Amino acid sequence: MQKGGNAMVTVINEYLHKELITVNLEAESPEDIFYAMAEMLKNNGYVKDSFYNGLVERESKFPTGLLLGKYNVAIPHTDAIHVLKPTIAIATLKHPVKFNCMDGSGDVNVEIVFLLALNEPHSQIVMLQQLMLLIQDEDILRNMHFAKDSGELYDIVSKFKFEYK
């Protein structure tokens, strides 16, 4: 295991695309968010038509809300068969939307959604580890929450210095 504050290459950047980042998305429900984000991914050639249904089905059985504190996130994703090219889409929400918690402990008001389109396990491990470090950092979540446009949000995430603590 790497320890002692080793700076890491920001692998997550390889999965980020400005056209897959949205700020102040207006949504009433997780399904609204999934629809908007799945369309965005589909139109840019990252996922198949079936991705949206895959997300909805998967979220109903295995929810992805994470209670972190001040800014809470959801990390919806679904089976690899719906994915063409792996990527992460990000949306900040105009108003918080209720998601069920991943561990079944209730619901959580989510401010930021990281939608994962993943197609195989181990190859994406560093990216996933970095994503977890990102969501554990309240300062960056606050900055993301207040980002005014997708360019600003992209810069905040792509400039984040990943360090193992």
Partner 1 sequence: MGKQKVVLVACGTGIATSTVVAKKVDDLIEENNLNARVIQCKMSEVSGYEDEADLLVTTTIPSRNYKIPIIKAINYLTNVNTGKIDKEIIEALKG
Q: Does 118 bind partner 1 (CB under 8 A)?
A: yes
Helix (H) or strand (E) holding 61: helix 51-61
Nearer to partner 1, 150 or 162 (CB): 162
Q: Does 156 bind partner 1 (CB under 8 A)?
A: no
Q: Does 9 bind partner 1 (CB under 8 A)?
A: no
Contact with partner 1 (CB under 8 A): which of 5, 61, 139, 148? Answer: 61
The burial class, CB within 10 Å (0-12 / 13-18 / 19+), for 88 is: buried
Amino acid occupying residue 37: M
Contact with partner 1 (CB under 8 A): which of 14, 39, 49, 103? Answer: 103
Contact with partner 1 (CB under 8 A): which of 21, 108, 113, 116? Answer: 116
Contact with partner 1 (CB under 8 A): which of 77, 140, 144, 150? Answer: 77
Report how far residue 98's alpha carbon sits from residue 2's, in angstroms, rounded to the nearest whole number.
Answer: 35
149-155: which pairs have CB atoms within 8 A and are 24 or more residues apart?
A: 149/23, 150/18, 150/19, 150/21, 150/22, 150/23, 151/18, 152/23, 153/21, 153/23, 153/90, 153/92, 154/16, 154/18, 154/21
Residue 85 beta carbon to partner 1: minimum distance, rounded to whole angstroms:
15
Contact with partner 1 (CB under 8 A): which of 21, 27, 52, 78? Answer: 78
Beta bridge partners of 98: 109
Q: Does 136 bind partner 1 (CB under 8 A)?
A: yes
Q: Which parts of this chain interact with partner 1 (CB under 8 A)? A: 1, 58, 61-63, 66-68, 75, 77-80, 102-104, 116, 118-122, 124-125, 128-129, 132, 135-136
